[in-house]
């Protein structure tokens, strides 16, 4: 049977096949699938439909499952992602993976050609010219024609073993082609893994819509993907590869680079069709100019061309530097600046729930930084600038930091896309979006993944649950690894889970674990603040807990009940009411209670005292307390705090470098006290305040 030229799919029932028939069909299917992979990835000439290919592949899977004795490590089915790796092991390369000297001017290239001619003692030299891919360099090793391992470049001498991820790339043959007699017993080749532009835009769009940080450029996306521990995630992302060098070969030799590049496709190793042979400086210049014009039309990123002396014997004469060959260089393109194409507009959910339209761009250099996304601020700004998908736009870095689309560049005769409109539901969690002035926001603060990292950092902050060690970087990795998908998941983490986080050893993992466990029991005011309710800060929390002494009481409160709380205001009251009457909030709170979080009613901690009904304002920096700590101490003793000086204020507490509130207090004849007097009023002992940042 021949599944190469005759890929029929009218298969016999597996139960009716003999072992010999099964073996023959498996061999034929493997050969056929490898052949069609070769046509698709190496020759770029697919001969069958995706549907037919999928049927052949599924048939092979079914046969191998029914007859496991015919299993083979080099079968195409072995690309299917297996179990995640525990970690990436270090592997020494078969030979040094050298870097190249980079140049930008014609004069530097002319100097290079003169130097090579002088050292090679020849005026008539040939060069190999190739596009310089902006990807991730890897070593791929074949033993007896079968894939053995794949590693990242690392420091050039040692890289990380990513064999589990290399195997799932269909452009990497698991067996070399062209007959066993032609295949070397050992072959280590160098290639570049990259992500095509359209796949990069799709990936970034998906990441933003899931509330994840997008990648800066296709190279970072490829590098971040291929270093995943889970090959299933790599298989789900379209990565490609080209091969361009041999690091070590046994049992076979080549006289020139061009001869090697001609052999690669015969083995099933992809090369770039834009490779050229140049026999003069003028041809090198023409090639560079042609590829510079072509770069925007390509569906992958290149940032220059590589020029290499073709003849291997002459390379030995020209010699090496410590970290780079003298017989090769990278001639970089001038970076694309300022003006680019807007490929898509997606909506990102920020840490406070605000929805921001984000422009996904054709990568462009702005102020020395490659930019592939930029803020569009809000829907009104997009309408004002009349920016649409497919437009040519000018990009700047606001404050020399944040990329921003400044304006649309008119292109006469260009057919434009549809005007942009904000979604009615949160793109991450599906909650109905609310509008507030010029902004749209998602009110689902506890369960929306787009807000999750910032919400957990806030939940763990000093004025909330005070979980030492749970900073932004740690939370980001926990969420990225999907170890934490909700606040409640924090309490499900084990010491062993935390040891997997970068920078954590057994001791630090146990310390964080114990800090999280201590945070199972929390006072109501801290808990409410930790929930990060829209418009409800420390001041509003203290006003609320004086009237409602439990979460249950807040859940049962009507809007008029909340509006009756002094100092709360109708907008804040509405925000509180909406929060506690969302299904998502009820589910999130239920999850927290399920994992053992206990919220202590305020009545159990209340300390009535001489501050009952007294109102305080703070100005300047206190030595012993943060502003939030001082406000909490007042509230715990029945007092009130305010942010402005009015006739209702009883005390203005003055710290170091006070502001204009001190003058306002004197003008209104309101009593001012220093920190020492304040401590006497609240009945608290003097204590040494930890330096700022010492807890994190």
Mean pLDDT of 147-155: 90
Do 114 and 55 fall within a single domain? Answer: no
Do 268 and 232 fall within a single domain? Answer: yes
CA atoms within 13 A on the CB side of 206: 9
User: Which of the four pLDDT bands, split at 50, 70 and 90, describes residue 234?
Assistant: confident
Q: What is the 3-state secondary structure (H, E, C) of 217-284?
A: CHHHHHHHHHCCCCHHHHHCCCCEEEEEEEEEEECCCCCEHHHHHHHHHHHCCCCCCCCEEECCHHHH
Which CATH number belongs to the domain containing residue 653 in this structure? 3.40.50.10190
Do 670 and 646 fall within a single domain? Answer: yes
Query: What pTM was computed for the model?
Result: 0.60
Residue percentage of the chain with pLDDT more than 90: 37
From the candidates 4, 43, 132, 385, give the one annotated as an active-site residue: 132
Radius of gyration of the chain, Cα coordinates, nearest whole angstrom: 33
234 or 133: which leads in pLDDT: 133
d(CA 275, CA 287): 10
CB proximity list for 150: less than 8 A, separation 6 or greater: 138, 139, 140, 141, 161, 162, 163, 165, 166, 167, 172
User: Which of the four pLDDT bands, split at 50, 70 and 90, describes residue 43?
Assistant: low
Beta-bridge mates of residue 243: 191
Do 328 and 343 fall within a single domain? Answer: no
User: Could you tell me the two tokens for 205?
Assistant: 């769009």
The pLDDT assigned to 400 comes to: 47
User: Could you tell me the two tokens for 122?
Assistant: 């020849």
Mean pLDDT of 590-607: 79
User: pLDDT tens digits for 248-259?
Assistant: 999 999 999 999
Do 484 and 507 fall within a single domain? Answer: yes
Q: How many domains does the chain fold into?
A: 5
Question: Three-state DSSP class for 326?
Answer: coil
User: pLDDT tens digits for 645-672?
Assistant: 888 889 999 998 898 899 999 999 999 9
Q: Which of 572, 602, 632 is the last residue of a domain?
A: 602
Residue 93 lies in a domain: no
User: Which of the four pLDDT bands, split at 50, 70 and 90, describes residue 693?
Assistant: very low
The pLDDT assigned to 606 comes to: 47
Do 234 and 363 fall within a single domain? Answer: no
Question: Three-state DSSP class for 418?
Answer: coil
User: Which of the four pLDDT bands, split at 50, 70 and 90, describes residue 192?
Assistant: very high
User: Which of the four pLDDT bands, split at 50, 70 and 90, describes residue 673?
Assistant: very high
Mean pLDDT of 389-413: 81
d(CA 543, CA 365): 50
Q: List the one residue out of 149, 157, 1 whose CA is nearest residue 73.
A: 149
Residue 425 lies in a domain: no
C-beta of residue 509 within 8 angstroms of C-beta of residue 501: yes
The pLDDT assigned to 690 comes to: 40
CA 441, chain centre distance (Å)? 23
Q: Is the pLDDT of residue 491 over 90?
A: yes
User: Could you tell me the two tokens for 178?
Assistant: 């062209």
Burial of 45 per CB tally in 10 Å (0-12, 13-18, 19+): exposed
User: pLDDT tens digits for 547-560?
Assistant: 898 999 999 999 99
Question: Three-state DSSP class for 509?
Answer: helix
Q: Is the pLDDT of residue 367 over 80?
A: no
- The CA-atom distances, in angstroms, between 82 and each of 76, 228, 231 are 13, 13, 7
Residue 620 lies in a domain: yes
Do 160 and 251 fall within a single domain? Answer: yes
User: Which of the four pLDDT bands, split at 50, 70 and 90, describes residue 604?
Assistant: very low
Which CATH number belongs to the domain containing residue 50 in this structure? 1.10.287.610
The pLDDT assigned to 172 comes to: 92
C-beta of residue 229 within 8 angstroms of C-beta of residue 173: no
452-458 long-range CB contacts below 8 Å, 24 or more apart? 452/211, 452/479, 452/484, 452/485, 452/486, 453/351, 453/479, 454/350, 454/351, 454/352, 455/351, 455/487, 455/532, 456/484, 456/487, 456/490, 458/351, 458/530, 458/532
The pLDDT assigned to 140 comes to: 96
d(CA 128, CA 278): 6
| Helix locations, 374-414, DSSP H | 379-385
Mean pLDDT of 589-616: 79
Residue 642 is part of which domain span?
Answer: 615-682
Which CATH number belongs to the domain containing residue 574 in this structure? 1.10.150.20
> Which of these ranges, 75-79, 472-476, 533-537, 554-558, has the smallest mean pLDDT?
75-79
C-beta of residue 301 within 8 angstroms of C-beta of residue 219: yes
Do 65 and 172 fall within a single domain? Answer: no
Mean pLDDT of 529-538: 86
Residue 424 lies in a domain: no
Residue 491 lies in a domain: yes
Question: Three-state DSSP class for 476?
Answer: helix
The span from the first CA to the last CA of the chain, in angstroms, equals 67
Do 279 and 201 fall within a single domain? Answer: yes
The pLDDT assigned to 583 comes to: 87
Do 484 and 536 fall within a single domain? Answer: yes
Which CATH number belongs to the domain containing residue 310 in this structure? 3.30.470.30
The pLDDT assigned to 695 comes to: 29
Do 496 and 576 fall within a single domain? Answer: yes
Residue 602 is given by DSSP the state G
Do 516 and 374 fall within a single domain? Answer: no
User: Which of the four pLDDT bands, split at 50, 70 and 90, describes residue 599?
Assistant: very high
Residue 360 lies in a domain: yes
Q: Which of 301, 332, 363 is the last residue of a domain?
A: 332
In degrees rounded to 5, what are phi and psi of residue 671? Answer: -65, 130
Q: Is the pLDDT of residue 280 over 80?
A: yes
User: Could you tell me the two tokens for 124?
Assistant: 């008539």
Question: Three-state DSSP class for 625?
Answer: coil
d(CA 672, CA 74): 81
Residue 221 lies in a domain: yes
Question: CB atoms < 10 A from the CB of 174, how many?
Answer: 23
Residue 415 lies in a domain: no
432 or 234: which leads in pLDDT: 432
Highest mean pLDDT of the ranges 511-525, 612-626, 629-643: 511-525
CB proximity list for 557: less than 8 A, separation 6 or greater: 548, 577, 580
Question: Three-state DSSP class for 184?
Answer: coil
CB proximity list for 165: less than 8 A, separation 6 or greater: 150, 226, 227, 228, 231, 234
d(CA 560, CA 557): 8
In degrees rounded to 5, what are phi and psi of residue 605? Answer: -120, -5
d(CA 527, CA 510): 24
Q: Which of 552, 574, 602 is the last residue of a domain?
A: 602
DSSP string covering 632-694, please? Answer: HHHHHTT-EE-SS--TT--EEEE-BS--THHHHHHHTT-EEE-HHHHHHHHTPPP-PPPPTTT
d(CA 618, CA 339): 50
Q: Any catalytic annotation for residue 132? A: yes
H or E segment to which residue 139 belongs: strand 136-143
Question: Three-state DSSP class for 489?
Answer: helix
Mean pLDDT of 350-368: 82
């Amino acid at each position: 049977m021949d599944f190469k030229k005759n890929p029929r799919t009218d298969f016999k029932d597996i139960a009716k096949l003999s072992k010999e028939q099964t073996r023959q069909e498996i061999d034929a299917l493997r050969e056929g699938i490898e052949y069609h992979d070769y046509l698709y990835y190496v020759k770029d000439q697919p001969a069958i439909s995706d549907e037919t290919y999928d049927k052949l592949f599924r048939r092979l899977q079914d046969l191998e499952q029914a007859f496991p004795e015919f299993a083979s490590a080099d079968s195409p089915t072995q690309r299917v992602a297996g179990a995640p790796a525990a970690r990436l092991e270090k592997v020494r390369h078969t030979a040094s993976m050298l870097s190249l000297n980079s140049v930008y001017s014609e004069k530097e290239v002319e100097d290079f050609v003169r130097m090579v001619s002088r050292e090679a003692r020849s005026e008539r030299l040939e060069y190999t010219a190739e596009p310089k891919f902006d990807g991730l360099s890897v070593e791929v090793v074949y033993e007896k024609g079968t894939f053995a391992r794949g590693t990242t470049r690392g420091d050039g001498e040692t890289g990380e073993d990513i064999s589990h991820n290399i195997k799932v790339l269909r452009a990497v043959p698991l067996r070399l082609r062209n007959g066993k007699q032609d295949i070397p017993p050992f072959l280590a080749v160098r290639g570049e893994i990259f992500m095509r532009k359209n796949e990069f835009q799709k990936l970034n769009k998906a990441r933003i819509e899931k509330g994840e940080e997008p990648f800066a450029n296709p190279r970072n996306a490829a590098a971040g993907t291929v270093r995943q521990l889970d090959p299933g995630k790599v298989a789900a992302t379209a990565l490609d590869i080209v091969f361009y060098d041999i690091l070590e070969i046994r049992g076979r030799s080549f006289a020139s680079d061009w001869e090697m590049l001609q052999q690669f496709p015969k083995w099933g190793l992809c090369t770039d069709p834009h490779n050229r042979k140049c026999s003069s400086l003028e041809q090198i210049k023409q090639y560079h100019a042609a590829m510079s014009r072509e770069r925007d039309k390509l569906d992958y990123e290149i940032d220059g061309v590589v020029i290499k002396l073709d003849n291997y014997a002459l390379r030995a004469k020209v010699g090496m530097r410590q970290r780079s060959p003298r017989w090769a260089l990278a001639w970089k393109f001038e970076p694309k600046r300022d003006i680019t194409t807007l490929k898509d507009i997606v909506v990102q959910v920020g840490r406070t729930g605000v929805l921001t339209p984000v422009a996904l761009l054709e990568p462009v250099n702005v102020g020395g930084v490659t930019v592939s996304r930029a803020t569009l601020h809000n829907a009104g700004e997009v309408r004002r600038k009349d920016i649409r998908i497919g437009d040519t736009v000018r990009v700047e870095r606001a404050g020399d930091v944040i990329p921003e689309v400044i304006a649309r560049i008119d292109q006469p005769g260009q057919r434009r896309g549809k005007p942009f409109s904000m979604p009615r539901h949160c793109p991450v969690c599906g909650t109905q979006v609310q509008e507030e002035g010029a902004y749209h926001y998602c009110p689902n603060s506890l369960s929306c993944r787009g807000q999750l990292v910032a919400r957990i950092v806030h939940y763990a902050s000093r004025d909330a649950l005070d979980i030492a060690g749970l900073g932004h970087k740690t939370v980001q990795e926990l969420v990225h690894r999907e170890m934490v998908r909700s606040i409640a998941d924090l309490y499900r983490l084990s010491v062993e889970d935390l040891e997997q986080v970068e920078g954590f050893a057994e001791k630090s993992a146990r310390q964080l674990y114990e800090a999280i466990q201590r945070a199972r029991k929390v006072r109501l005011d801290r808990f409410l603040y930790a929930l990060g309710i829209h418009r409800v800060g420390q001041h509003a929390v203290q006003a609320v807990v004086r009237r409602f002494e439990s979460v249950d009481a807040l859940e049962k409160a009507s809007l008029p009940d909340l509006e009756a709380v002094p100092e709360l205001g109708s907008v804040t009251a509405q925000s509180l009411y909406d929060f506690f009457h969302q299904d998502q909030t009820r589910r999130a709170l239920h999850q927290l209670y399920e994992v053992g979080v206990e919220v202590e009613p305020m009545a159990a901690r209340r300390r009535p005292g001489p501050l009952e009904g007294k109102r305080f304002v703070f100005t300047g920096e206190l030595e012993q307390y943060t502003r939030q700590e001082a406000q909490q101490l007042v509230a715990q003793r029945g007092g009130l705090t305010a942010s402005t000086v009015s006739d209702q204020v009883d005390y203005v507490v003055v710290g170091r470098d006070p502001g204009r509130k001190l003058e306002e207090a004197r003008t209104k004849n309101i009593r001012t006290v220093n920190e020492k007097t304040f401590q006497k009023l609240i009945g608290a002992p003097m204590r040494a305040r930890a330096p700022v940042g010492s807890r994190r």
